[in-house]
Amino acid sequence: MILRTSIARALAWLGIIERPEFLVSTALDMPAPEELLPGLAVVVGPNERPKWVTFACPSGCGTPILLSLNPARRPRWAVSSDWLGRPSLEPSVRRTDGCRCHFWMRRGRIDWCKDRGGVLPKN
């Protein structure tokens, strides 16, 4: 994990890839909101059946965002990461409170949406 992060940073520094805004990490237990680092999406739960993904809101407001990965629940998200540990989220995330941002996370980059579509996280 630390190695992949270093490779991603080095490739970005060399200009080979765009600097990732997010990299993925894993944890067995839910991190406390104050433990969330900017730019780190934490997949929580056992490897074979992760339960949540949590990260600080990329808008800059820093509010912890918590998304369910449980396929039996709605809404639910799917998270994947590439060989550099850059996360992608499916579908998009739309906040109805706070900063009300709406975005996609794709290969570690945040794509902002201007529309009001998307799926609502439950708080």
Q: How far is the CB of 93 from Zn ion (least distance, A)?
A: 10
The least CB distance from residue 61 to Zn ion, in Å, is 3
**Site for Zn ion contains 61 (CB under 5 A):** yes
3-state SS class at 2: helix
Among 34, 99, 107, 26, residue whose Cα is nearest residue 69: 26
Task: Verify binding: residue 57, Zn ion, rule CB under 5 A.
Answer: yes
Comparing CB distances to Zn ion, the nearer of 78 and 99 is 99
Q: Does 59 bind Zn ion (CB under 5 A)?
A: yes
Q: Which 80-109 residues touch Zn ion, going by CB under 5 A? A: 99, 101
- CA nearest neighbour of 57 among 111, 86, 99, 85: 99
What distance in Å separates the CA atoms of residue 23 and residue 109, rounded to the nearest whole number? 9
Alpha-carbon distances, residue 112 vs 43, 58, 91 (angstroms): 22, 10, 13
As measured in angstroms, the least distance from the Cβ of 73 to Zn ion is 23
Q: Count residues contacting Zn ion (CB under 5 A)?
A: 5
Do the beta carbons of residue 92 and residue 103 sit within 8 Å? yes
- Residue with nearest beta carbon to Zn ion: 59
Nearer to Zn ion, 21 or 82 (CB): 21
Residues of the shown chain interacting with Zn ion in the complex, contacts defined by CB under 5 A: 57, 59, 61, 99, 101
